[in-house]
Structure 1
Amino acid sequence: MPEQTLPNERPQLIPGLDPEATPLLGLGLGLTGLTLGLRPRFAAVPLALTALTAALYRDPERTTPYEPATLFAVADGVVLNVDDVYEHRFIHSDCLRISIGISALNVPFVRSPVAGMVRLVEHVAGEFRSVGDAEAGDRNDRIYLGLHTEWGPILLAMIAGPIGRRLVCRVRPGDRVDAGARLGTARFGTRADLYLQRDSARLQVQSGDRLTAGTSRLGMVVPL
């Protein structure tokens, strides 16, 4: 497959919002205008729903620092757990797994923690347990993204939750991505797991830490 580069910039019809929100916002504003003409006192309802839609589809521009040895957060949210696992799908090694809970009100974009090339995109059908469930990472519906980097392979999993069942992948094998590049969306209460070879990184996060995708630092790469 020919190699290609994934552009970091995506056209936004409305600055700061995911293009997917445009038709929903247009519908909401149209209903608000119609309600103002027919039942002015009820216009606050469609207007509030339109504002909520805008909040759920936020896509702010972020600048990821150029720090090749730094691992950046893959999602907005809270670190649920950092544990040791054996990863058999892509890395085939003992790994550190960082699980990040993405709430319904967090920006839903999942971003690349480092620069690299996408080598694996795989959807695995599954259940829709709470993302805080200890087995959700292995049982829930999920999309795996495997990247090759200058210092080794990493694996990222977007994991669906009971409400956030729609996962969208925006890359394919052969895409080159920069640190902070958008990889996909996981909306309405989901989770992102990052797998790193155990000896390849020195982490500086722990359970309960709040992260911002593309700017919060997870740790540093350790030369092997």
Structure 2
Amino acid sequence: MRIHKEGYGIVLKGFFLISIAVAIVILWKGLTITSYISALAGLVIFSFLLRFFRSPNRVVLTDDTAVLAPADGKIVIVKEVYEGEYLKCNCIQVSVFMSVFNVHINWFPVGGVVSYFKYHPGNYLVAMHPKSSEKNERTSIVVDHNGTPVLFRQIAGLLARRIVCYAKEGTEIEQGDQTGFIKFGSRVDIFLPIDSRIQVTRGQHVKGRQTVIARF
């Protein structure tokens, strides 16, 4: 299992802190049941860190007419909304919620040129909250896909306190390239043209880089 580069520091620090904590318990209590429980708890925590920052090998199912899932998770919103930050029109919003058990890498859902990027500081409402797309810390990214602007947002959640985004205005990207990483629970929203043919439903679990969210 590969570890994503955004997790190198946290995983390494976690290993040392857990090792020190277990060593202190063993020196204090000796090889007792308490020591074994502490070691087991440390192993569980370290295993969680490894799993959270995993970076799976996946084949990108590129399709110029398709919008691919930008993240692993569960579809929590599919509805028509007015997008007022950049697009200034009615769109179809599709939101993917990532629990702490999902892969937290984000990918570009379409290929094209990054025409807009903005970081918004904000609150840390639960990522499934309807207002988190407007109130929480987030990034907004627009990709010009063959003349069609596709906006998507990385949104911090209650536990997520750091959004990493690699997007830069003016750069050309491929469908399935990494957008960034959100640490410890979050959401990604996509805003699509009103006439897009949506291929997912609320409650459906999707896989980033592979599940088709919509077609143009």
Query: What is the TM-score with the length of structure 2 in the denominator?
Result: 0.87
**Residue 33 of structure 1: how far off its partner (Å):** 5.8
- Cα gap change, 1:26 to 1:126, in 2 (>3 Å): closer
Determine helix, strand or coil for the equivalent of 1:43. Answer: helix
Q: Which has more helix, going by share of residues?
A: 2
Aligned residues: 206
- Cα gap change, 1:32 to 1:177, in 2 (>3 Å): same
Give, as a single letter, the amino acid of the residue that structure 1 aligns with 2:48.
Answer: L
Q: What's 1:12 paired with?
A: none
Q: What's 2:100 paired with?
A: 104
Structure 1 residues 144-153 or 39-48, which shifts more? 39-48
- 8 A contact 2:126–2:158 mirrored in 1: yes
Q: What's 1:85 paired with?
A: 81
Give, as a single letter, the amino acid of the residue that structure 2 aligns with 1:108.
Answer: H
Whole-Å separation in 2 of the counterparts to 1:127 and 1:23: 25
Whole-Å separation in 2 of the counterparts to 1:197 and 1:46: 48
**Residue 105 of structure 1: how far off its partner (Å):** 1.1
Higher Rg:
2
Report whether the alignment pairs 1:22 with 2:8.
yes
Whole-Å separation in 1 of the counterparts to 2:88 and 2:140: 14
Whole-Å separation in 1 of the counterparts to 2:130 and 2:121: 18
Alignment of 1:88-167 (within 5 A): 88-167=84-163
Determine helix, strand or coil for the equivalent of 1:179. Answer: coil
User: Which 5+ residue runs of structure 1 have no aligned equivalent?
Assistant: 1-14
- 8 A contact 1:28–1:47 mirrored in 2: no
**Residue 94 of structure 1: how far off its partner (Å):** 1.5
**Residue 216 of structure 1: how far off its partner (Å):** 0.5
Alignment of 1:27-66 (within 5 A): 27-30=13-16, 35=22, 39=26, 41=36, 42-66=38-62
Q: What's 1:194 paired with?
A: 190
Give, as a single letter, the amino acid of the residue that structure 2 aligns with 1:220.
Answer: R
- Cα gap change, 1:163 to 1:37, in 2 (>3 Å): closer
- Cα gap change, 1:27 to 1:85, in 2 (>3 Å): closer
- 8 A contact 1:115–1:179 mirrored in 2: yes
User: Which 5+ residue runs of structure 2 have no aligned equivalent?
Assistant: none
Whole-Å separation in 2 of the counterparts to 1:128 and 1:45: 28
Structure 1 residues 85-94 or 187-196, which shifts more? 85-94
- 8 A contact 1:29–1:47 mirrored in 2: no
| Aligned match for 2:205, one of 210, 216, 220 | 210
Whole-Å separation in 2 of the counterparts to 1:197 and 1:85: 11
Query: What is the TM-score with the length of structure 1 in the denominator?
Result: 0.84
**Residue 91 of structure 1: how far off its partner (Å):** 2.0
Whole-Å separation in 2 of the counterparts to 1:207 and 1:196: 16
Whole-Å separation in 1 of the counterparts to 2:14 and 2:40: 11
- Cα gap change, 1:30 to 1:189, in 2 (>3 Å): closer
Report the RMSD for the aligned CA atoms in angstroms.
Answer: 2.0
